[in-house]
Structure formats: structure tokens, C-alpha cells
Chains A and B, each alone.
Chain A
Amino acid sequence: MQEIEAIIERYGAQRRHVISILQDIQARFHYLPKDALMEVAARVRIPLIDLYSIATFYNCFSLLPRGEHVIKVCLGTACHLKGGTRLVEALERELGVREGELTPDGRFSFETVRCVGACALAPLVLIDERYYPKMTQRKLTQVLARLRRARQAAEAVP
């Protein structure tokens, strides 16, 4: 809760800043916890329903926990033709969860999105908002392995 307070402090408890505040909460927790929304509503003094409306309106907000790494597979027309659905299947095999779900360790979640506006690079996968162009199942496995290793290394250091 202190973190929420700090985030609100950063912008000021004003109505016009709530989207920035929610974005920061989303970045910190990877989703918008219910308690956090209630805290923001109380501090900024706006009705909870207004926050809930905003949180459900924008796709960048999630009310369900998302993974530390959010993988987005583009299934726009071009990516679809170039085999985006096969990437979804590969991810389902690789992570053992279905689309929209979170891996049990909370590390990864993946979702499908419509066109991300880079069709020349199809099929596209976005991992933590970074574009991975012309993705293949093999490259995907490598990237996932690298992300897992990075975490292990980070844990080993301290």
C-alpha cells in the first residue's frame, strides 16, 4: 500500500493524473489489484466506478494478474497468414498454459493481439513491448530460454 501511496505522490492526487497513476501501478504489479484501485479512489477522491471504467476500457490495463514477462502474439491479417497461430500453439506447448493465462510461477503470460502496425515484419511477437520480427518457433524457444537464464543469473548474483 505504501507503494501505491508513493505512486500517487509522484503525480499528485488529482483526477487528471489517474491514467498515469494506473499505468505505474500496472507496471509495478503487472496488473491492477482491487485494493490498489480502492486506495487510488479514496486518495484521489474519485468514484471507484470511474476507475473501474478506465481500467476495463483500456487494453493496457489488466485486472487479472499478468506475468513478469508479457508475451503478445500478433494475429493481425499479415501475421495470421505468416503463421501467427502456430506461434500460439508453440507457446502453449512451451509454457504449458493457454492463451490469456499465467504460468504457475508467475513468470510468463501470453495473449494474442490484433495488428501491431508492423506487417512487413510478420509474424510478430512482442515480449515486454519489445518487437521480435519474423518470429519462428525456434527463435521463440531461444528467447524464452534467454529470459529464463537472465532471471536465474539475477537470482544467483546477490
Chain B
Amino acid sequence: MTKLYINGIEVEIEQGASLLEAAQQLGIEIPTLCFHPGLSAYGACRLCVVELGDGRLVSACTYPAQEGLRVRTHSPRVRRARRMLIELLLSICPSSKRLQDLAAEHQVERVRFAVRDERCILCGLCVRMCAEQMMAHAIGFVNRGYRRRITTPFDLRSDACRRCGGCLYICPVCEVRCQGVGAPSAVCGSCTPPAPTCPPVYEDLACYMGATGECGTCVRGPRTPDSHSPTVAGRREKV
């Protein structure tokens, strides 16, 4: 057993466990994105960043618990780092609901980077899912640096792929976020009022699955394909 201190609380955990597991044992919630309990830890998204006693920022999912280690999971520095990470992730994947939810949770209210909709954050979840759970090894990372992407060998349909859909199931960013109205901006903000503005028809339409605003109840202005002006009721007005 290894004894360490997380946010000043003593915790004992078996040898070889990660900081993330130690924190989870205490019930301390550390946000994760590329981590999945059924897959190997990868440390790609850095969202589980924590601060060590010596001031280093490390990813909790890959850092092994060590005797006497002091860890801070929600220090101002860590939170700032997390907000920056979310901002960066959002700038490449503004259409992800998972990321939008994370942004809302962490009070990320703007994205200062050029938004490009790449629909992949290279977290590698699908690659690990395919290899470790499905034993297929059909997809993987190719190229490197800014050209890095995930695909099958030679970009052709792979013989190894059984079309199980595990990659789609686990992908945190290919789920479609609520459509709102207008083109996706970097930070959604459409769901600021959690209560629907259309109680009479809400249950029937279940518009969180499809195109929100279809019935027109929650829409104030006309629907424009590339307008950045918010038109959903309750959405923060842009200055």
C-alpha cells in the first residue's frame, strides 16, 4: 500500500495505482476525457491535470501514486490549466456536446483561438477501444505533428474492421451537440436556461435528439445558417 495526500487528505492505495484512482477513492472528482476504466491510460487530453507538491503539473491518469506524495487537484493553477485545455479542445471541436458540457462546468465562456471544426481531438479512445476491447487493431494514428490523424491502413476499408461501432460508441466528440439555431460558435451557451421554454410540446418533440428549434417555440429570430447572433431565448447576448 502507498500512502499519499490529496488536497491534504491522507489516502492509502495499492501499489501501482494512478493518482486518478487515488482521488476517485476519496470521492474527489477530476474531469477526464481520454480516460476510460476499461482501457489503458493514455494521458492525451491532459484534462485530469493535477499539481504535485513540487509544483509540477502532471496528468493524474498516468502518474503512479507514490509514497508521501502531495497532490492538489483543484488549485487555482490546475483550474486555470484545465480551462485553457478546454478552450483549446473546443477550438478544434466546437460541435462536441461533451466538450460544451465541460466548458459550461468549468466556466469557460469564450474561446480565444481560431475555431476549426476538425471533429477529432486525437484522444485515442477509439484506437484503444479497437485494439484492447475489440481486439481488432483496425484503426490507428498515422502521420505526425499537425498532420496526425486516425484512420485505417492506406485509408481503405480494413479487413480487420468488423464494423462493431465501438469506436463511435466511445468517441467523446463525434456525438452531435444540440443543434441550437445558427452555426455552431465556439462556446455554445444555448442551454443556459436548463428548463425548456416550450413545456407543452417538449416531451413529444424530444428536441435534444434532433434539431432544436424546429417547432419554433424557443426561437426568437429567423434561422440563419451562418449567423453568430444568438437567437435562442435566454442565450447570452453577444456584445
Partners in one complex: yes
What's the dominant secondary structure at chain A's contact region? Answer: helix
What's the dominant secondary structure at chain B's contact region? Answer: loop
Total B residues in contact with A, Cβ cutoff 8 Å:
14
Smallest CB–CB gap between A138 and chain B, Å?
36
| CB-nearest residue of chain B to A56 | B142
Of B41-49, B131-139, B174-182, the one touching chain A: B131-139
The answer to the question of B163 belonging to the interface, with a C-beta cut-off of 8 Å to chain A, is: no
**Cα distance, A57 to B140, chains bound together (Å):** 12
The answer to whether A48 touches B143 (Cβ under 8 A) is: no
**Cα distance, A50 to B138, chains bound together (Å):** 9
The answer to whether B154 touches A52 (Cβ under 8 A) is: yes
Total A residues in contact with B, Cβ cutoff 8 Å:
11
The answer to whether A52 touches B131 (Cβ under 8 A) is: no
The answer to the question of B217 belonging to the interface, with a C-beta cut-off of 8 Å to chain A, is: no
| Chain B, 124-157, CB within 8 A of any chain A CB | 131, 137-144, 152-154
**Cα distance, A57 to B145, chains bound together (Å):** 9
The answer to the question of B2 belonging to the interface, with a C-beta cut-off of 8 Å to chain A, is: no
The answer to whether B158 touches A56 (Cβ under 8 A) is: no
The answer to the question of B160 belonging to the interface, with a C-beta cut-off of 8 Å to chain A, is: yes
Question: Which chain A residues have a beta carbon within 8 Å of chain B's beta carbons?
Answer: 34, 37, 47-53, 56-57
Question: Which chain B residues have a beta carbon within 8 Å of chain A's beta carbons?
Answer: 131, 137-144, 152-154, 158, 160
Q: Which 10 A-B residue pairings sit nearest by Cβ, starting from the closest?
A: A47-B137, A49-B140, A52-B153, A56-B142, A48-B153, A53-B140, A56-B143, A57-B144, A49-B153, A53-B141
